[in-house]
Amino acid sequence: MPPISSHFLELYDAAGALRGVRLSPELWEAVKDKVLPAIEKAVYALDPSCRPQPEERPEPIGDWETLLAYWDFTYQPTYDVSCAHCGASTPDWRRDDPRKFRLRAANLGGLVTFQCQTCKSLVLKKHFKKHLTVECQPFVEHK
């Protein structure tokens, strides 16, 4: 690449450290489709906070209400949720605004799952006839 070009310019600070690159609009249009996916992947690895959030599905409150409607366990349902990974907790997940934990699933088998909004861990509340168990699984990003 020529050292001086009106289309591509490497920018250095006074100490000689590379600070950035400038591309002309014409050069960017010529390479954008090939280069942008690689740039986005690298930026997301360097700065995960700029990654776009996936569209969130609504909480399945109807499934939770169905579980409560058919509740025949020997104990009362509880609404507290705690994350063993980051320490986030709430005495009643339904009343939090904004939510500390989002309901991800509930079924008649007694399995209720929540996602921690702080660290994205999955909290599983397993309701059995006479007891409840709680598990916390760390967030795993699927690529």
Reported pTM: 0.61
Which amino acid makes up residue 102? R
CB atoms closer than 10 angstroms to residue 35: 13
Write down how long the chain is. Answer: 143
Q: Which amino acid is at 26?
A: E
Q: What is the distance between the alpha carbons of residues 129 and 38, in angstroms, rounded to a whole number?
A: 52
The whole-number average pLDDT for the span 59-82 is: 91
Instruction: Give 9-56 pLDDT, tens digit per residue.
Output: 999 999 999 999 999 999 999 999 999 999 988 888 887 777 776 667
Mean per-residue pLDDT of the chain: 88
Instruction: Burial-class residue 66 by CB neighbours within 10 Å (0-12, 13-18, 19+).
Output: middle
